[in-house]
Structure 1
Amino acid sequence: MKYEQLAKDIIENVGGKENVNSVVHCITRLRFKLKDEEKANTEVLKEMDGVVAVMKSAGQYQVVIGNHVPDVYKAIVEVGGLESKGSADEADGGDKGSLLNRFIDMISGIFTPILGVLAASGMIKGFNALFVAIGWLNEEGGTYQILNATGDALFYFLPIILGYSAMKKFGGTPFVGMVIAMALVYPALEGIPGAAEPLYTLFAGTVFESPVYIEFFGIPVILMTYSMSVIPIIVATFFAAKIEKALAKITPNVVKMFFVPMFTLLIIVPLTFIVIGPIATWASQLLGQVTVWVYDLSPIIAGAFLGGFWMVFVMFGLHWGLIPIAFNNVAVSGEDPILALIFVHSFALAAAVLAIWIKTKNETTKTLSPPAFISSIFGVTEPALYGIALPLKRPFVISLISSAVGGAIIGLFGTKIHLLGGLGIFQFPAMIHPEEGLNTAFIGTIIAAAVGMVLSFVLTYFFGGINQKATAAPAAEAASAKEETVITIQNEDIVSPLTGETIALEKIEDTAFASGTLGKGIAVEPTEGKLISPVSGTVSAMFPTNHAIGITTENGAEILMHIGMDTVQLDGKHFTGHVEQGAKVDKGQLLIEFDIPEIKKAGFPLTTPIIITNSGDYKDIAFTETKQIKIGDPLLSLEK
C-alpha cells in the first residue's frame, strides 16, 4: 500500500485509533473528530513528509494532505481498522440537510450494496411474466415456478437483506439485523391469521379495528405482513444498533459475545412486533378508509392522491391497507377502482429511468438503467425506485408528479380493474370490461399511461438534475483517465472565474492555502454567486457538496477552486453544480452557482482560493495586480 506508513504515522500522532471518534475527508484534508485533541502530536504531524499543514477548526482536527487525500484516507481506514465514511458530505451522523434528503440518502445508501442483484431479480420476474403472457410458460408448470422463485426470492425476503445492510450502516452487527428480519418474516407467525380465530379484536367498529391472534406476556400483538416491506426493518435496525451499543458498554467482556446479541434480539424483536406492527397496521387501515372517502368525493382527486403517493405508501408498507379493499371489491362486485388509479406509477418511473439512461454519463447508472427500465415496464419497480430514482431525488419526485397526473386521468375516465393479477403492461387486460370490451374507460387507461410516460420523460430529461453530483463519474474513473493521458506542460493564461475583489493568498485565514504549500495562486472575495471555468479542460475533481472543483487544462495546468472556508460543512446547501467530474468544459462555462447571502448568513467566509496545485511544474506564476476583477479578466499567467 503506497501510503501505509504515512497512515500509520498519522494515526499514531492523532493519539491512536482509540482517540478517533470519526474521520472523513474533503478535497484537500483529513477531518478527524478526536475524543481528546490534547493527545494529538500537532508539531510532529506538521513536520511529517506528506502532511502539508495541521489545523483545528469547527470542532475538527484537520490534517491537510493535498490532492491525494482520498488515497491517504483509504490507507488510514485500512491501517487503523476505522469505519469508512467517505467524503465529508457522506459522513453519517451529521445533522445537516433537510429531513427528506437525509431520509432519501439513508434509504439509497442501504440499497446500494444490492443494486445489481435487485436489478437482476426484477429482470427475471419481468421476463417470467412475459413468457406467461405470450404462452411460452404456464403458471402451473415447474419451469415457471422455479423462475418465479428465483426472481421473487429477493423481494419476498427483502427485509432480511435490508436487515444486514441497514444494521451495517447504523453501526451495528449486520447478522443481528438479519435475525431481526428473519423473525419478522417467520412463516409460522405470518400464517397465524389464516389458520386460527382471533383471541379478540381491538377497537372493534372503528377504523383501527385490529384482530389479535397472539399475545406477548399478556400484551396484544397485532400481526402484519412484513415480507417485501422496507421501512419496518430499517426502523427496527436503527434502534437495534443503539441498543446493541448501549449493551456493549455495560456487558462484561467475558460474556459480551453472546449476551449483547441475545438481549438486543430479546428487546428489539418483541418491540418491533408490539409497536412497529400496530403503527404500520393502523396507518394502512386509516389510509384505506381515507382513500375510499376521497374516491366517493371525487375520483379525479383520488386518482391524483393514490397515483402520486403510491410508491411512498409501498416504501412505508402502508399499501397493505388498500390491497384487501381492492381484492374485496373485485370479489364482491367484479371491479375495483383502487388498483386502477395506481396503474401509471410503473410507467412514469420507467420513463424517468429511460431519460436517465439516455442522458447520464455515469457508467454505473447507465449499466443499471436498462434492467431497471425493463422491469418497471413489467411492473417490478424496486430496482428503478431504490437503485436510480430515489438516490437522484428529482427523478423520484418527477415520477410521483407524473403518476399523479396519470391517476387523475384514470379517475376522470372512471377506469376500473375487473381481474386480479398482472403488473405493468400485463395489467392492461384487467382493464378490459367483461361486457363492453375496449370501452372509453379502457381508452382512458392508454391515454393516462402515455401522458404519464411522456411527462415523466420530458421533465426528467430537462429538469432531473442528471448532470449534477448524483450522477457524477466516480473519482476512480476520472483518476484513471487522468493517468492514461500524457500532457505536455505549456505556458498558460488563466482568467478570473469570479467577479469580486482579489486578495493575496497569504492574507487569507486558512493557513493551508495561505502558506502556499497546496500550490501558488490568488484568492477572490466574490460579489456575484457564479463560478465559471477559467480555462478549457477537464473537470478532474468535483466534490459532491459542489463547494470545490478541480480542472486540468489542455496545457497541463491543475487548478483548484475552493468556494469559501470550511463550506464543506454546509453539505451542499446553497451550492448548485452544473458539471460533473470527468466532463470537458470550455472557458467561460458556468460551473457552480452559490447563494452569497445565505452562505454568509450561515457564518462562513466566502474567500475563494484559486490555486495551481502543480505549481512546481512552472518556472514562474504571475498574478494580476487589479483589485476589483470581473469574470473573464486576466488573473494568472503561468510560465514553464
Structure 2
Amino acid sequence: MEKENYDQLGQEIFHHVGGKNNVTKLIHCMTRVRLTLKDESKADIDKLKAIPGVLGVVEDETLQVVVGPGKVNKVAQSMVDSVGVKLGEEFPNQDLSHADKNLDEQTNENKALAKQKYNKPNKFKSVLKSLANIFVPMIPALVGAGIVAGVASILQNLLTAGTLGGDAVTQLVTVLNVIKNGLFTYLAIYTGINAASEFGATPALGGTVGAVTLLSGVTTDTTIQNLFNGQDLAAGQGGIIGVIFAVWILSLVEKRLHKWIPDSIDIIVTPTLSLLAIGLATIYLIMPIAGVVSDALLQFINFVLNVGGPVAGFILGALFLPMVMLGLHQILIPIHLEMINQMGNTPLLPILAMSGAGQVGAAFALWLFLRHDKQQTELVQNIKGALPVGLLGVGEPLIYAVTLPLGRPFITACLGGGIGGAVIGMLGHVGAIAVGPSGWALIPLIANNKALYYIIGLVAGYIGGFILTYFFGIPKELRAEAKTPTNIIQQEAQETTDSVIVPATAHADAFTIKAPANGQLITLDNVPDEVFSTGMMGQGAAIKPSDGKIFSPVTGTVQTIFPTKHALGLVGEHGEEVLIHMGLDTVNLKGTGFDMLVTEGQSVSVGDPLVNMDLPLIQSAGYQTVIPIIITNSSDFKSINSPAEQLVTAGDVIINVNEAKNSAS
C-alpha cells in the first residue's frame, strides 16, 4: 500500500467517526488506531468496518479501529499529521459554534491567535520547545526526588563531618538514596522515552536507547573500548544531551524504515534494525566522542587550576553545567579524590558548586519578572517547585525544566555561576573534605572553618545569576509579552492586567478620553460580560454604537491590533493604555465585519478613523455590538470616572482621569 493510500484510509476513518472535530485524542498500539471521541454516537461502526483496509472495530473506553501490524503506525501518523498534532496530544477544538464555547475556550483561542502573530517560529525556538516538551512532564518526579536527594545529602554530609552519627541515621540516608536513585540513576531512560514521544519514535525504543548509555552488563572484566583512544567507556558518558541526540537519530531511522519495510514484517524488522543501528552508533560513536571531549576537558581543567585565582574560578564555575549536561562531570571525581588524598580537601568542588548558585539566581529573576504574567503560570509554578531543590544542590529540575528550555537564561545562569566561582577563587583556601552535592548541602563539608567564605560565594552566584538574567537573560518574546498591549488583549477573558503595557514616562494631573463612536454611553457594570463589568480588565466606559465608524479616543500610538481585528490597543500621550473592544465575543468572527484603517505603530490624533464595523453583519451573526473602552493601566491613576449614561457623539468626553499616582515611571 502506497503512502497516499494510508492517507486515504486515515481520512476515511475520520469521516466515519464523525470527523476530526469529534476526536479529542489519537494513539495506536501494535494493530489498532485508538480514538477518544467526544460523541461516540456519531461513529458509524458498520461503515468503519466496511472501509477497505480496516480489519475490525472494537468499542471500548476508546474506539479501536484494527488495521493490522505494520500499517497501524503509518495510518495513525498520517491522521495526526493531518490535524497538526503529535500522537497522544489533544486535538484542537475546531468549528465550535458560539453557543458551545465557554469562556476558557474563547480565551485559549485568543491566545493561539496572538501566538500565531507574535511568536514567529524558528529552528532555535523549535529546539528549545522540544527540550521543554521532553523535561516538563518529569518535573514532579524531578522536584520530589530532588527534595529527597537534598535531605539525604545534608544528612550524609553531617555524618561525614562527624556532626551526626548512629546506625539509624545511616540507615535513613540509605533508604532516602534508594528512593532518589529511582529517578536519577535511570534518568537517561525516562529522557529517552519522552524524547521518542517528542520526535515521533516508539517510546519504548527511545527508553532502550537511553538505557544503552548506562552500559548494563559491563563489568571491569568485560569492558567496551573507546574506538578513538582505546580507553574503557564509562556508564553515562555522553550525558542526557547524548541520549536526546541518539533518540532524534532513532526517530529518523525508524520513520524511514516504516516506509521501506513491507507491512507483513514491519513489526519485526523495523524495531530490530532501528535499535541495532542506534545502539551501535551510541556505543561506538556518541559515547566515545564524549569520551574524547572528556579527555580534552580534563587537560583544560588542569591548565585552569594551574592558573588559579578568580580567572580559574570564573571559568570553572561557568563551564560546569554544560559538563553535567554532557555527562562529562564524572571525570572530575578522580581529581577530587586525589586532592583530598594529598591535601585533605578538594578546593575544586566549592568552585564548581557555584554553577548551581547561578541557576538559583536565574530562577529567582525569572520568577520575579513573570510572577504576574498569567500566560506563564505553568512556568512560574515550575520555578517555585524547582527552587527549593536547587538550593539544596540538586540542579536538574532548574536546568532541564526552567533555564535550558528558555535558552538565554541558561547562559546567564552559567555566567552567574562563574561570578560565584571567581569570588571563591579570589578568597582562596575554600575546600571540601569529601565529594558531595553542592548548594546548602555542601556547607557541613567545608574544611578549615571556611564555611563563611563558601556562603559568600553562594550569595555572589545568586546575585550574579539574578542580575544577569533579569537584565539580559529574559527571552525577548517573554519580555515583550509582559510589557506590551498584546499581553492585555490576549488575557482579555478571565485575566487581570498585573503586567501591562509599556509604562508611561509621565502622567498629567488630569486628562480625558473621548468617545470613539456615536451612540449610547453606558457604564461598565451594565456590559453583559463579567470580564468588563467587574472591572477585571480595568476601569472605563462602554458605548452601544449607532453606526460602525470607530475613531481614536486619544492622541498617541496604535500599539497592538488583535489578529481578528475585533480589538486594538492604544497608548496615549499621557501614558494611558486604552483598549477598544468592538463587540462581545466577536473574536469568533475571525476578522469578518471589521475593516481596519490603521496599522500597528501608527501615530493617531483624537478623531482619526480607526475601524469600520459592519454592525448589521455582526448583529445578524448573533453578537452584541457594545464597545467597552478600558484603561488597562487604571492602577497607575488615582481616579477614573465617567459621566452618567447618555447619548454621545464621537469626540465627546466619556472618561475623566485625575491625579496620577506617580509623576514618572
TM-score of Structure 1 vs Structure 2, range by shorter chain: 0.5 to 0.7
| CA offsets 1:5-27 (integer angstroms, 9 cap, x no match) | 6745999xxxx9959855559xx
Q: Which residue among 456, 461, 484 is the counterpart of 1:452?
A: 461
Letter in 1 for 2:180: G
Q: Which residue among 219, 231, 256 is the counterpart of 1:211?
A: 231
Post-superposition shift, 1:160? 0.5
Q: Does 1:375 align with 2:389?
A: yes
Give runs of aligned pairs for residues 312-461 of structure 1, distance below 5 A.
312-359=322-369, 360-361=371-372, 362-423=376-437, 424-432=439-447, 437-438=448-449, 443-461=452-470
Assess, with a 3 A threshold, how the Cα gap between structure 1 residues 248 and 611 changes in structure 2: closer, same or farther: farther
Assess, with a 3 A threshold, how the Cα gap between structure 1 residues 620 and 396 changes in structure 2: closer, same or farther: closer
Query: Is this contact kept in 1: 2:358–2:416, CA < 8 A?
Result: yes
TM-score (norm 1): 0.61
Query: Is this contact kept in 1: 2:201–2:250, CA < 8 A?
Result: yes
Letter in 2 for 1:465: I
Distance (Å, rounded) in 2 between the aligned partners of 1:96 and 1:21: 19
Q: Which residue among 183, 191, 211 is the counterpart of 1:154?
A: 183
| CA offsets 1:215-262 (integer angstroms, 9 cap, x no match) | xxxxxxxx2221893112101101111110111111111121222111
| CA offsets 1:415-451 (integer angstroms, 9 cap, x no match) | 342422332223234332xxxx335xx5543322222
Post-superposition shift, 1:369? 2.8
Q: Does 1:110 align with 2:153?
A: no
SS of corresponding position for 2:231: strand
Q: Does 1:96 align with 2:122?
A: yes
SS of corresponding position for 2:146: helix
Distance (Å, rounded) in 2 between the aligned partners of 1:150 and 1:70: 39
SS of corresponding position for 1:230: helix
State the match for 2:262 in structure 1: 252
State the match for 2:542 in structure 1: 490
Distance (Å, rounded) in 1 between the aligned partners of 2:362 and 2:394: 15
Letter in 2 for 1:535: V
Assess, with a 3 A threshold, how the Cα gap between structure 1 residues 466 and 498 changes in structure 2: closer, same or farther: same
Give runs of aligned pairs for residues 141-290 of structure 1, distance below 5 A.
141-189=170-218, 192=219, 194-195=220-221, 209-212=229-232, 223-226=233-236, 229-290=239-300
Distance (Å, rounded) in 2 between the aligned partners of 1:252 and 1:339: 55
| CA offsets 1:104-138 (integer angstroms, 9 cap, x no match) | 33322210111121111111111233345374986
| CA offsets 1:551-577 (integer angstroms, 9 cap, x no match) | 869x968789x99xxxxxxxxxxxxxx
Distance (Å, rounded) in 2 between the aligned partners of 1:317 and 1:153: 18
Task: Give percent identity, aligned residues only.
Answer: 22
SS of corresponding position for 1:225: coil
Q: Which residue among 145, 149, 152 is the counterpart of 1:128?
A: 152
Give runs of aligned pairs for residues 478-627 of structure 1, distance below 5 A.
485=530, 487=532, 490-491=542-543, 495=553, 499=557, 535-536=578-579, 616=619, 617=623
Assess, with a 3 A threshold, how the Cα gap between structure 1 residues 366 and 464 changes in structure 2: closer, same or farther: same
Distance (Å, rounded) in 2 between the aligned partners of 1:494 and 1:138: 77
Query: Is this contact kept in 1: 2:584–2:625, CA < 8 A?
Result: no
Post-superposition shift, 1:394? 3.9
State the match for 1:580 in structure 2: none
Assess, with a 3 A threshold, how the Cα gap between structure 1 residues 333 and 474 changes in structure 2: closer, same or farther: farther
Tell me the matched-pair count. 476
Distance (Å, rounded) in 1 between the aligned partners of 2:395 and 2:170: 26
Return 5+ residue gaps in structure 1 as ranges.
Answer: 26-31, 33-44, 52-66, 75-85, 204-208, 213-222, 506-511, 537-550, 564-591, 596-607, 622-633
Distance (Å, rounded) in 2 between the aligned partners of 1:319 and 1:19: 43
Distance (Å, rounded) in 1 between the aligned partners of 2:289 and 2:115: 36
Query: Is this contact kept in 2: 1:176–1:265, CA < 8 A?
Result: yes
Query: Is this contact kept in 1: 2:134–2:191, CA < 8 A?
Result: yes
Letter in 2 for 1:307: G
Query: Is this contact kept in 2: 1:496–1:534, CA < 8 A?
Result: no
Distance (Å, rounded) in 1 between the aligned partners of 2:173 and 2:362: 30
State the match for 1:292 in structure 2: 302
Distance (Å, rounded) in 1 between the aligned partners of 2:242 and 2:326: 7
Which shows bigger deviation, 394-403 or 326-335? 326-335
Assess, with a 3 A threshold, how the Cα gap between structure 1 residues 112 and 462 changes in structure 2: closer, same or farther: same
Query: Is this contact kept in 2: 1:341–1:411, CA < 8 A?
Result: yes
Distance (Å, rounded) in 1 between the aligned partners of 2:569 and 2:449: 69
Assess, with a 3 A threshold, how the Cα gap between structure 1 residues 6 and 409 changes in structure 2: closer, same or farther: same
Query: Is this contact kept in 1: 2:419–2:461, CA < 8 A?
Result: yes
TM-score (norm 2): 0.59
Letter in 2 for 1:330: I
Assess, with a 3 A threshold, how the Cα gap between structure 1 residues 559 and 180 changes in structure 2: closer, same or farther: closer
RMSD: 5.4
Letter in 1 for 2:530: T
